[in-house]
Amino acid sequence: MPSEPPASSGGPSEDVVHVETDQQLHAVGSLVRHRILRVLREGPATVTQIAARLAIAKGSSNYHVKVLAKAGLISVVDTRKVRGVNELYYGMAGKTIQLPESSPGQPEFLMRHALADVESSPEPEHTDMRLRHLRLSPEDFATAVEKLDALHAELVALNDPRQPAADLFSVLYRPQDTRPETGAPATEPPSGATEDSPPQGAKSPRTTPCTRRTTTGRGKEEAGS
């Protein structure tokens, strides 16, 4: 099951909060509320402090905080009187928020929020993004998952609250397989054409096909060697 990263010390009452109700799914489906949870993982904060850290209006911060609180994902953990007014400090209800498995066609909130954070990263030079196309047996797929689990555990062990923020989001998945089934008739190219020939009327490509495709800047897309 996908899960949000663990919170830092701040007094959450539970280790894991399971997202199960429609109200909770609605609460975690917002990018703004996802980022509010990031703020609260660092420790309790007021509506005003959250607004300042995320550069959003106080009214917007108040609305989204109330949605999270009603869903049971955060709660008031402290109250302090400032100039005669009680300031409410909100904190995480659990160290980890466990999201349910998504059915085919349903949105993957965690993935969408992570990609939005990547696109808005203030330090694109410190972003390493890769996509590799592979063909793996069930056994090798399971081994790859185990290695990713080990990598996540290794990086969690390196976590230092005094250092700048860094996120790791990984997904190993089975895409729609576009390879023809064994025994399916192959499509014959037109007479005189080769597999790499362009369609009739199209200009010849400047480069020959290759197995590795590297995009400029922040990402890589590669075919398995």
pLDDT in tens, the chain (225 residues): 455 544 444 455 468 898 999 999 999 999 999 999 999 999 999 999 999 999 999 999 999 999 999 999 999 999 998 888 889 999 999 888 888 887 776 678 888 999 999 999 888 888 988 899 999 999 999 999 999 999 999 999 999 989 999 999 999 999 999 988 876 555 555 555 544 444 554 444 433 333 333 333 445 545 554
pTM score: 0.68
Give ∠ CA 209-211-217 in degrees, rounded to 5.
95
Contact 222, 130 (CB under 8 A): yes
* pLDDT at residue 46 in the model: 97
pLDDT at 149: 96
- Give the residue among 208, 154, 148 at the shortest CA–CA distance from 173: 148
| pLDDT for the residue 217 | 41
Question: From its phi and psi, is residue 69 left (phi > 0), alpha (psi between -120 and 50) or beta?
Answer: alpha
The region, left, alpha or beta by phi > 0 then psi within -120 to 50, assigned to residue 178 is alpha
What domains are there in the chain, each with its CATH number? 1-120 (1.10.10.10), 123-173+207-225 (no CATH)
DSSP strand pairing (94-98 vs 14-18): parallel
CA 78 – CA 44 distance, rounded (Å): 8
What are the phi and psi torsion angles at 185 (to 5°)? -65, 135
Question: What's the token pair of residue 189?
Answer: 């190219």
Query: What's the pLDDT at 14?
Result: 61
Type of residue numbered 87: E
